[in-house]
Amino acid sequence: MTTLVYWFRQDLRLADNPAFLRACADADYLLPIYVVDPEAEAKTEWGFDRVASHRQAFLRESIEDLKRQLRALGSDLFVFSGEIQAVVSLASIAVNATAIYCEQIEAPEEIDQVTRLQSSSVEVKQFWQSSMLEPHDLPFDFAAIPDVFTAFRQKVEKANLKFANPVPPVTRIPPTPAWRTQQIQTIDLHAESHLKSFKGGETAAALHLKQYLDRRLPDTYKQTRNQLMGMDYSSKFSPWLSLGCMSARTIAAELDNYESKYGANDGTYWLWFELLWRDYFRFLHFKYGRKLYRKTGLSDHPPSKFGRAQFAQWCGGHTGEGLIDAAMTELSTTGYLSNRLRQVVASYWIYDMKGDWRAAAAWFESQLIDYDVYSNQGNWLYIAGRGTDPRGGRAFNVAKQTNDHDSNGKYRRRWLKQSGESVKTELDEE
């Protein structure tokens, strides 16, 4: 009789989860677990919480939803707190498991977690499943992945690659093995969330995707995606994608069905285009690995010095630049920020305030409910000119961005009022 441990990581779903499906097929008994690592919630080297309250709340809601789904299928999710290697090893010993199955995450910290597990003489089987495209379908080897996204996209399109087909959801889960918990204790997570726009979990993800398609919002995506306020200007898939509450392949497959029903257009293509960007940042990790996480990135230029006072101004929304302060207030208040403003505030920190890009990237990691290790690192390197892009960074003109995207001052009034500040705009003078 085969007993396995399934360790959920950034794949908190049952639909299109090849690793969990395989574990269910291979096991006679299966122990599904999730580990809350206290180290992941400690202070950063910059002095703030690595995972702020909004991220914690969204994660806890997602875990609770997964637990409910597993229980509905006669299984359960056992949530532990502790150092990952120790907890997962003890859980496998407690049930006499022959192996641990989990999602493969190709980032340094996550790689090290698995390496330490393997050093404990526990067999770990990893499954890559977070991208829209299958790595083995790519028209080039990892070592030959084009450094420039446009070249990457063109080769993918020339090979007629769109997405890998999602696998069916699990319908039967092997029974939970008998085990004792003297050495490791489960914990109860009760999410207390003040998030108004996003609820964690696969159930909420599926409902969001359905209403987005039912309301024909893909048709206008390209025209509205750079707006700053509201739920409908962009897809808002990213929070659920970040924890694997839904997969990129599921979204791509649903978009393909949508195009079959209503026809393809610029909006549906651009949604696929953005999912391809997400894949690109993932696949670059197979080529460059830990080099992406050096303080210089892929460049040879040292980062700027860290100034604690100026960093407090930036992340607290007290720079004196209206659009920047409004955006940073929205981020700390909600755990979310539009893609356009993420680029603008990143550029302002790097090029106007001459700040250390690593501190700001860590602030995004702390605050964003849709934090994704690949995309966060990739985008900060891109803006800072420390990644693969040959054009040497992306500096944004704040005055132009303000005029282009908040000419009436509505966005600034909304969030500067929240922070107790005010901004004078042309609209106020009318």
Is the pLDDT reported for residue 326 higher than 80?
A: yes
CA 54 centroid distance within chain: 14
Question: In this predicted model, which residue has the larger pLDDT, 366 or 392?
Answer: 366
Please give the structure tokens belonging to residue 360.
Answer: 């700001």
Is the pLDDT reported for residue 424 higher than 50?
A: no
CA 346 centroid distance within chain: 17
Distance between CA 384 and CA 346 in Å, rounded? Answer: 8
Distance between CA 235 and CA 270 in Å, rounded? Answer: 11
Is the pLDDT reported for residue 278 higher than 70?
A: yes
Distance between CA 143 and CA 363 in Å, rounded? Answer: 31
Q: What is the pLDDT of residue 184?
A: 59
Q: What is the pLDDT of residues 56-75, one digit of tens each?
A: 999 999 999 999 999 999 99
Q: What is the pLDDT of residue 37?
A: 85
Residue 133: name the closest of 243, 261, 253 by CA: 253
Place 180 in a pLDDT band, splitting at 50, 70 and 90.
Answer: low
**What domains does the chain contain, in order, with CATH numbers?**
3-129 (3.40.50.620), 202-291 (1.25.40.80), 308-424 (1.10.579.10)
% the chain with pLDDT above 90: 84
Contact between residue 95 and residue 3 where contact means Cβ atoms under 8 Å apart = yes
Is the pLDDT reported for residue 189 higher than 70?
A: no
Count CB neighbours of 111 within 10 A. 16
Among 15-29, 92-106, 158-172, 180-194, name the one with the lowest average pLDDT: 180-194
Mean pLDDT of 222-249: 96
| Close Cβ partners of 135 (under 8 Å, ≥ 6 residues apart) | 128, 142, 283, 286
Mean pLDDT of 274-294: 97
Q: What is the pLDDT of residue 420?
A: 58
Mean pLDDT of 63-91: 94
Q: What is the CA radius of gyration of the chain?
A: 22
Residue 165: name the closest of 134, 187, 191, 196 by CA: 134
Distance between CA 31 and CA 154 in Å, rounded? Answer: 43
pTM of the predicted model as reported, rounded to 2 decimal places = 0.93
The vertex-268 CA angle with 266 and 274, nearest 5°, equals: 95
Place 427 in a pLDDT band, splitting at 50, 70 and 90.
Answer: very low
Place 192 in a pLDDT band, splitting at 50, 70 and 90.
Answer: low
What per-residue string of b and e applies to 40-73 under the rule 16 or more CB within 10 Å gives b?
A: eeeeeebebebbbbbbbbbbbbbbbbbbebbeee
| Close Cβ partners of 140 (under 8 Å, ≥ 6 residues apart) | 146, 155
Is the pLDDT reported for residue 425 higher than 60?
A: no
Q: What is the pLDDT of residues 363-386, one digit of tens each?
A: 999 999 999 999 999 999 999 999
